[in-house]
Structure 1
């Protein structure tokens, strides 16, 4: 970019402080960056490093009186720290669009999706409500929300995590802003939709010459989209430069550890079992390849057995076939990963196993006992044996309870120990997930998204369960913490024989964590088998599409991704009288089954 061109965003010596009992405490210090029209600058770093605080400072969304910003934040030459709050309201959503990290807490639960998208257009573009709703429908279709017209008047709680994130992107892009701040915009999205959204943002960026400030922990996404990269660590900018230079020759040890922690497809070789993530020496930056975990004996009886599971939800104009005829089993010490697009039924399957959603048909047996027919007493005993780590850590933690109280509650409720022992156990669990025992007295809103996810994992481990459903358990974590927590889950599995149903859209993590993989599409399993078989010789066209859409963490290979998928995702809504066909499967190799593609892919 030429030096004479005025940058869209210019941040100079930004220091943001929060008020504490001891006085003002700086959480980001002397941040300097610029984003020009048509340019994408990525901010990367651990959760809690100050990435999101930098974005919230730019939008002036931090609580007045409790936070203060010093320095300059200029949008096209206008200092945003000097303008009135009324002027900032016209900037937010108009000149600056922002995609927030947690879509469920960013969307208003009492307004329809269509209303929330249209509101931005009415306020900033001065459209009539009728015109705004028509544009809202077009935006929903553009971010590939299936059956958009019928879902325009639905509420956020009826959308999956990935679908809600797409709605947030539609709202942020509605007014074609000069600057888009994207705070983890693809965290909740599977790889195919992630590729589509990145393509969409780049397309709009070219059309509008839009500047993009991209906050992410996914170094594959950084390699794919960023012209320049800023690395943050504990509130400081420690390295910045052209993205290709940062990847090729990082100068700081922390940057080297970030890049070494990236899970890469195709690095497992002939390994049959999961492998720990590479470990990085904090002083030297030396990388040690993680060891292979022990294999699972197939002679062991399954702890979980799911047979012909179906979950359907009735709507006025049809029925959602969320899960249809799903069968699999899971042994102690084994990890079975469920992968597929958001809305394909992964999370619904996990919640139904825990009886948080009632099954329409089929059976779920945990340790030989059918959960679907269990009474209150049996269900309580089962939930001590089986735990779930939810997708949205903020929504799953009580905002009025300290995190220590949230972790201690299940131990006291199940009468496993007295309060003194439980407090000691809380400190041990927090330490296991990389947090200090001192944070137990803090509330969920005082943590970053990644830190909240670690707290959720600590709570799931509190009862020493035998089986854990990990619903996007590491999706909110930056790459270095993702590696640490994934290694923690693998170590706990090896030590205690834990079984994991690992629900994820991160194919590179799935390849490293799994013994077996099941691929879901429109509520059905289309392919299931050993990890090596699924990744090395995928048979179903949808499986091949998922794997090919994984971003490559190498900026020199930018643009080598397959062309963006343009067809609309088919809807799982069927007429009330629809009778699902019985699917047939072929066994390609021992334990590797693929659904008849002629039926499932073209129907």
Structure 2
């Protein structure tokens, strides 16, 4: 059988400071007809550069691609740019990680997909419209005909990714390159997209080159796997063999870093991730946290009936025509030394809940008690005092750190702002905290851009600790990190929790990580908590249909599940927008086990 894509001795270099630097070296692999080949590795491994080299999308003059890239026997590196335009979108197509930056915001999605058909298939506008609607229906976009004339911003993240897939499939290519197509998506949307790619592959008989760092996704979708590490191809083989008998230390280390849903059964306390050396593959067994939570004490944080809404204005006079019900009647408590995780899809209100507690957004009503103080009544000096007791770690540390400020100054700044000591004391404290989060104090004079993503997140954690807070709100603080870095940062947070008796409000959509780090879990849907209880109760005996849906969508790092389809609903998350005069219904909860509450439908 002849490969659809055959890559031989691919070496890609970039021009850096006047010299060529290899970032991908001597990569070789084949993608057979109807096969899915995964290229896996962490950030900087060269996997995305490999795919961009194949598509001819690297900047001319700044990049050099050597070797052979044969598509159906034709060497793409010998083609002119005009000839490559006939190949892209026609014989091979690509789905990118972030659909909003790949779709043109000023054109309707129908026009953007139709362009592929008129360009490569010579269809008339009417023919292209009919075929585009058929393709949108194929990727399970509801009411495809009526959505043809809508713009990218009118679609959710998951639906935009479906539009990208429709565009890639419009000309029925023989090869689909999917570059991290599910990394930025919620777990349920990720499950839908993986199911969709499997189904379309069966229907169209196309080959897929799937690029990811998520070993759970690899296990579910790939027939064969290529493992890359720092620009080199270190291992290739059938996915089952890679998972069960990986030869290279890095491969084994990647697999050891992956949290598996259900691995916490019988474990009373949160469990650290195994400490893995990514170079040697040596794994130190995970260590459970000691029991630091005393439920006899008064909670450090108590939230009752919290409501946060955002007004929608319209008309000539800017009257309020409706409200976004972001947080609706939310109640929970948090003990010193405890981690309460809030989980749910994008738009469910979990981040707004965290911001409301800190008064970064203003709630409409409710009570927030912190150490006996009513947070919602504070102002001025009282509010500044609150910020000493509650700190936040954001999802993207690069955007939360001042790029013009050294990391030493960034960590010391809150200490100085709250006048807790002299400048010298602030620098000593910053040095001590950086050392505590695993960074040498000698790095204090560097700037944020000189650090990796995982190191920047450690800096953000050090900064949050500079005021000795009692509560830390961690808002998707590990979502954007590679799997091994994610494990390291989670272990760091648990170490710090034990050392400083911290309470964490851990906001995430990563169910496997949440299961590992949590004492208790709250599940949010459309601004409301639909289920809350001890971690073991929620994960081992989920009661609400939405909780069960979240669990079912999590990719499992087991190649035996390849080909399994979850049958998840493709409905978009319902809108939290309500008319201005809307009154929410009264909600009742039943206690199915001690501390385990479920909303009654």
Interval containing the TM-score (normalised by the shorter chain): 0.7 to 0.9
The structural deviation recorded for 1:582 is 1.0
Instruction: Describe the superposition over 1:124-163 as per-residue Cα deviations: whole angstroms up to 9, x where unpaired.
Output: 223759976995898499566999979986775x98xxx4
Structure 1 counterpart of 2:285, from 289, 303, 307: 289
RMSD, aligned α-carbons = 3.9
Structure 2 residue aligned with 1:299? 296
Q: 1:355 aligns with which of 356, 359, 367?
A: 359
Look up the match of 1:125: 117
Among candidates 438, 460, 473, match of residue 469 of structure 1 = 473
- 1:263-298 Cα shifts (integer Å, max 9, x gaps): 122222332220111233567645433111022111
Equivalent residue, structure 2, for 1:551 = 555
Aligned to 2:456: 455
Deviation at 1:567, TM superposition (A): 4.9
Alpha-carbon deviation of 1:595?
0.8
Q: Find out whether 1:524 has 2:520 as its counterpart.
A: no
The DSSP-based 3-state class of the residue aligned with 1:212 is: strand
Give the conservation status (yes or no) of the 8 Å contact 2:37–2:209. Answer: yes
- The aligned counterpart of 2:177 is 181
Question: What is the CA–CA distance in structure 1 between the aligned matches of 2:496 and 2:458, rounded to whole Å?
Answer: 12
The question of whether the paired residues in 2 share the 8 Å contact of 1:137 and 1:152 is answered with no
In structure 1, C-alpha distance between the alignment counterparts of 2:100 and 2:412, rounded to whole Å: 26
In the aligned structure 2, how far is the partner of 1:423 from the partner of 1:14? 49
* Cα displacement (A) at 1:200: 0.9
Whole-angstrom distance in 2 between the partners of 1:350 and 1:34: 47
Partner of 2:317: none
Residue 68 of structure 1: CA displacement?
3.0
Aligned counterpart for 2:308 among listed residues 305, 311, 334: 311
> How big is the shift at 1:337?
1.0
Of residues 149, 154, 164 in structure 1, which corresponds to 2:157?
164
Contact 1:120 1:171 in 2 (8 A): no
- Quick check: 88-97 or 33-42, which moved more? 88-97
Relative distance call for 1:138 and 1:378 in structure 2 (3 A) is farther
List per-residue Cα deviations over 1:4-34 (Å, max 9, x = no partner): x241x33222222333348332222111222
Is 1:429–2:434 an aligned residue pair? yes
**Rg larger for:** 2
- Residues 1:154 and 1:384: Cα distance change in structure 2 (over 3 Å): farther
TM-score, normalised on structure 2? 0.84
Deviation at 1:433, TM superposition (A): 5.9
Count, aligned residues:
581
Residue pairs, 1:104-119, within 5 angstroms? 111=105, 115=107, 117-118=109-110
CA offsets per residue over residues 219-267 of structure 1, 9 Å max, x none?
A: 1211110011111112211101010111111111111122122212222
Kindly tell me: are residues 283 and 481 of structure 1, through their superposed partners in 2, closer, same or farther at Cα, counting changes over 3 Å?
Answer: closer
Task: Tell me which residue corresponds to 2:204.
Answer: 208
Specify the alignment match of 2:121 in structure 1: none
Alpha-carbon shift at residue 368 of structure 1 (Å): 3.9
Distance in 2, Cα, partners of 1:397 & 1:197: 33
1:387 matched to 2:391? The reply is yes
Please state how far the C-alpha of 1:491 moved relative to its aligned partner.
Answer: 0.9
Separation in structure 2 between the aligned mates of residue 392 and residue 129 of structure 1, nearest angstrom: 44
Q: Which moved more, 1:215-224 or 1:85-94?
A: 85-94
2:253 counterpart of 1:257: yes
Contact conserved, 1:433 with 1:458, CA < 8 A, in 2?
no
Q: Give per-residue Cα distances to partners, 1:274-333, cap 9 Å, x unaligned.
A: 011123356764543311102211133333322212233344575432221111122222
List gaps (5 residues or longer) in structure 2: 119-123, 315-320
Alpha-carbon separation, structure 1, partners of 2:414 and 2:77? 45
Cα distance change of structure 1 residues 249 and 396 upon mapping to structure 2, 3 Å threshold: same
**Quick one: structure 1 residues 148 and 523, their matched pair in 2 at CA, closer, same or farther if it must change by over 3 Å?**
farther
TM-score by length of 1: 0.83
Q: Which moved more, 1:285-294 or 1:74-83?
A: 74-83
Offset from partner CA, 1:345-385 (integer Å, 9 cap, x none): 22222233333333233233444444444435444443344
